[in-house]
Amino acid sequence: MRVSLKDVAAHAGVSIKTVSNVVNNYQHVTPAMRERVQRSIDILGYRPNLAARHLRKGRTGVIALALPELGNPYFAELAAAVIDAAVEHDYIVLLDHTGGRREQEILVSQGFRARVIDGLILSPIELEAEDLRDRENVPLVLLGERDYDLPYDHIAIDNVAAARDAVRHLISLGRRNVAFIGARNGRSEPAQLRVRGWREELRAAGLPADEGLVAATDGWGHADGAAAMARILDSGRQPDAVFAYDDPMAIGAMRVLHERGLRVPEDVAVVGFDDVIEGRFGAVTLTSISPDKEAIGRLAVESVLARLNGDTRPPLRVSADYRLVERESTLGREEAARRATAG
């Protein structure tokens, strides 16, 4: 039989209202009373009825998270971060896969599931600003680098600065012919920003930004990175470093370099982006830009719930932290091991 508030109140010798105040973490309960009620909760194994709690507030207890590519490790790890953050607030997360298609992003953003969700976290690729105007449904938080200049909270990292850090690291190691793989044939603002960072850092170092070393792709995956790397090598150009749009593309590029008899990092150093777990366990571990995915997930959930609870502040533009994680694909095994031991 399910333990009720009444059962806990009887066991603790207090009123049902007092138990409710403790369960809902109201601040005016004394520490001694809170401890007394919590002891009864633990002994009886009481679990709050979250669905009933949300319904009393006219809510569903569900946040939707719409991502362009669930098969991409970065988005899978980001989804886990959002879910972990939502659990802390007694919410569950409904995942949606848009495929980066505008029509699907419009469908999601216009609230086709508004009756079953309290808020939406959306990472758009092709959505236009006009698609988001005059929304009158659940709170929306945007992820990613496209700036829509619209009244919605927006969480992203500084892609230009991150790309410059990646290229600066390669230049500091003596690399001079740095390729970029993952420029997009379609519009992708993150890719454009990362190419921009590549160009800016090379020029700041007095090096040419050889556009022949930029390879465009249609996708984000391993095969796309492998094909892009092969095209650069087949063109007769010989980069001594590669900066990839994301980690799967970097891993695909490293496979082609191995097949062509080129060593990583001795012949070609490689940097990825997103720091997914796969890059930490290859034969050559991958140097990568590591966004703070946990912080992005936490900020996104907190922003949705703040708006849901009546926060009327101007839209927030939040820049999440990132760092460059140096591993074997740029440092070599011995140096990477030495730095790991020293650090």
Binned at pLDDT 50, 70 and 90, residue 1 comes out as low
How far is residue 292's CA from residue 288's CA, in Å, rounded to a whole number?
12
45 or 27, which is more confident? 45
- The residues pairing with 179 across neighbouring beta strands, listed in sequence order, are 242
Q: Which H or E run includes 188?
A: none
Q: In terms of CATH architecture, what is 159-291+324-342?
A: 3-Layer(aba) Sandwich (3.40)
Q: What share of the chain is helix, strand, coil (3-state, %, to 5)?
A: 45, 15, 40
287 strand-pairing partners: 271
Architecture of the domain spanning 57-157+293-312: 3-Layer(aba) Sandwich (3.40)
**pLDDT classification of 341: cutoffs 50, 70, 90:** confident
Judged against a pLDDT cut of 90, whether residue 110 lies above it is answered with no
Among 21-30, 184-193, 216-225, the range with the most confident prediction by mean pLDDT is 216-225
Going from N- to C-terminal start, the domains of the chain cover 5-48, 57-157+293-312, 159-291+324-342
Cα–Cα distance, 337 to 343 (Å, whole number): 10
When the pLDDT of each residue in the chain is averaged and rounded to a whole number, the result is 89
Fold entry, domain 5-48: 434 Repressor (Amino-terminal Domain) (1.10.260)
Query: Can you tell me whether residue 262 is helix, strand or coil?
Result: coil
Strand order in the sheet with 241-244: 214-217, 178-184, 241-244, 269-273, 287-291, 322-325
User: 57-157+293-312 and 159-291+324-342 share one CATH topology?
Assistant: yes
* pLDDT for the residue 229: 98
In angstroms, the CA 51 to CA 47 distance is 12
Q: Where are the beta strands (DSSP E) in the chain?
A: 62-67, 92-97, 119-122, 140-143, 153-156, 178-184, 214-217, 241-244, 269-273, 287-291, 317-319, 322-325
What pLDDT, in 10s, does the model give residues 222-260? 999 999 999 999 999 989 999 999 999 999 999 999 999
Question: Taking a C-beta distance cutoff of 8 angstroms, is the pair 22, 33 a contact?
Answer: yes
* Residues contacting residue 334 through CB under 8 Å, at least 6 positions apart: none
Q: Which of 3, 41, 51 is nearest to 21 (CA)?
A: 41
pLDDT at position 53, please?
Answer: 56
In which band, very low, low, confident or very high, does the pLDDT at 64 lie, cut at 50, 70 and 90? very high
